[in-house]
Amino acid sequence: MSHQYPSLQHDNTLGLEVGAYQRVIADTPATILRAWQEAKENNRPLLLLGEGSNVLFLEDFTGTVVLNRIKGIEITEQDEAWQLHVGAGENWHALVELTLKKGIPGLENLALIPGMTGSSPIPNIGAYGVELKDVCDYVDVLHLDTGVTQRLRREECAFGYRDSIFKHQYQQGYAITAVGLSLSKKWQPVLTYGDLMRLNPATVTAWEVFNAVCHMRQSKLPDPKVTGNVGSFFKNPLISREQANQLMLSYLNMPHYPQANGEVKLAAGWLIDQCDLKGFRLGGAAVHQQQALVLINADRATSQDVVALARTVRARVGEKFDVWLEPEVRFIGAQGECNAVEAIL
C-alpha cells in the first residue's frame, strides 16, 4: 500500500494542492532536532516552513516538512532602546501590532508583511523604506547536526536586498529559533514612499504610519486567505546607471531609485504593468488585476501554471526592457530548494 502524503495546501499561502511525506508541527527546538535526526536516518530531505508565505512548491515534497511554531515574546526596556527577543513561530504582523500597543514604535512600516518572525531575516524583509536589518539585533540559529544554538549578531547576518546569510551558508542544516530586535527610543518616522510622503513628519505618530501602510497594502495586495498568493513574486531589479539612463530616454515616468553603490533599483510591478500583463492568465494562475507584481492562484492553479506564468512575465519584461526579473519567492522541488531563475528560463 502506498504512503498517503499529508496535504500542505493550508501550509502554503498560494494554496497549491501539494503534499509531503511527513508533516511535523514543532513548538520547541527539540522537536525540530528530532525531526531532523529521523529524516537523516531515513535519508529523506527536510524543509523548515513558517507560514509558507514565500514558497512555491513545484511538486510533492518527498521528505519531512517541519512547521516552526516556537513561541514567546520577551521585551526588555533599556535607556536607549527596547530589546525584543521573539520566538521564530510568532506571526510577524501580530508582533508589529503588539509593539505599537505597548507604545514601542519602529516596526510600523513593516506592517502586514505575511509570515513568521523566524522567516523575516531570511529575505531581510522590507517595505516602505525600512528593512529588517535596520531593527535586527541578532538571530538565534540552531545547528541541526550538533544541537548547538549560535547567536549571530546583525553584522554577521550579511543582510542585503532580499538577501542574507540564511539564503547561503546557513540555508541547509540550520533552523532559526528566535530573532532579537532593537527599537530605538529616539523614533524617527520613515516617510519616503507612497502615501507616507503626504504625512507631516513633525506631527505624525507611529499608529498613523501603521494605518497608512495597512491601507496601501490592503488596497493593492490580495488577502492570501481569500486569493492564494505569495505577495511580491519578483524582486525589484537592480541595473546599472547607464542602462537606467538609456531607459529613461524612452520612459520618462519610469520609477527609479538610485542606490548608494551606483546601481539603480527599478519597480518590477511597473515594468510588468507596462507589458499590459495585469489580469493576464495561464491555466489557473493569473497576474493580479491591481498589482502586477503579485501572481495569484485564481482558480485551482497547479504549480506548473504558476511557473509558466512567471516564465511568460519574465520573458515579456526582458524582451521589452532588456531587464531580467528574478523571483523573490523560494522554489521548492521534491528534494528541497532549487534555483528559481533556472526554473523559469
Active site residues: 162, 232, 328
Cβ atoms of 158 and 168 within 8 Å: the answer is: yes
65 DSSP β-pair partners: 23, 47
Residue-by-residue DSSP string for 18-57: -BEEEEEEESSHHHHHHHHHHHHHTT--EEEESS-TTEEE
Enumerate residues 6+ apart whose C-beta is below 8 A from 189.
196, 199, 201, 204, 206, 209
- Please give the Cα distance from 285 to 339 (Å, whole number): 21
- Please give the Cα distance from 296 to 216 (Å, whole number): 18
Cβ atoms of 149 and 177 within 8 Å: the answer is: yes
Q: Provide the pairing of β-strand 20-26 with 285-287.
A: unpaired
- Please give the Cα distance from 212 to 319 (Å, whole number): 36
**Which helix (DSSP H) or strand (DSSP E) does residue 270 occupy?**
helix 268-274
Q: What cell numbers appear for 327 in the block?
A: 523571483
